[in-house]
Amino acid sequence: MIDAAELIDNDFLRQYEIKVDDHLAKIEYSLQDRKIFLTKLIVPECISDENFTDDFLKAVFENIEERNLSVVPTSPEIAKFIRRNRQYKSMLPVGLRI
């Protein structure tokens, strides 16, 4: 499991980051009003832990929930994660279905 302290919200580059060894996994985003658009998930191939992506996304969603933002997943991988983890569907804006 990823510790929340490891997660970095890089406002300047508009991305969530986490370092694994010397590699950087990131989720690019765009903010509009009270919505965060998660546009791109990038996990280096050398990270072989199959649970890493889910743990990374859970840490990001916890951060977004603390900020009281709605999530708009524009990345297919992130939309698929929400479909598998229904507890995050409540974070979608009203009227958005995936």
pLDDT tens per residue across span 3-59: 655 899 999 999 999 998 888 999 999 999 899 999 999 999 888 777 899 999 999
CATH of the domain at 27: 3.40.630.30
Contact by Cβ (8 Å): 39, 31: no
The residue segments making up the domain with residue 37 are 4-91
The answer, yes or no, to whether residue 1 has pLDDT greater than 60, is no
Asked whether residue 57 is assigned to any structural domain, the reply reads: yes
Total tally of structural domains belonging to the chain: 1
Residue 96 lies in a domain: no
**CA angle, 35 then 38 then 41, to 5°:** 165
Q: Does residue 32 form part of some domain?
A: yes
Position 91 pLDDT exceeds 70? yes
Instruction: Classify residue 48: in a domain, yes or no.
Output: yes
pLDDT in tens, 58-88: 999 999 999 999 999 999 999 999 999 999 9
At 96 the pLDDT is 85
Residue 34 lies in a domain: yes
- Please indicate, yes or no, if residue 42 is contained in any of the structural domains: yes
Asked whether residue 72 is assigned to any structural domain, the reply reads: yes
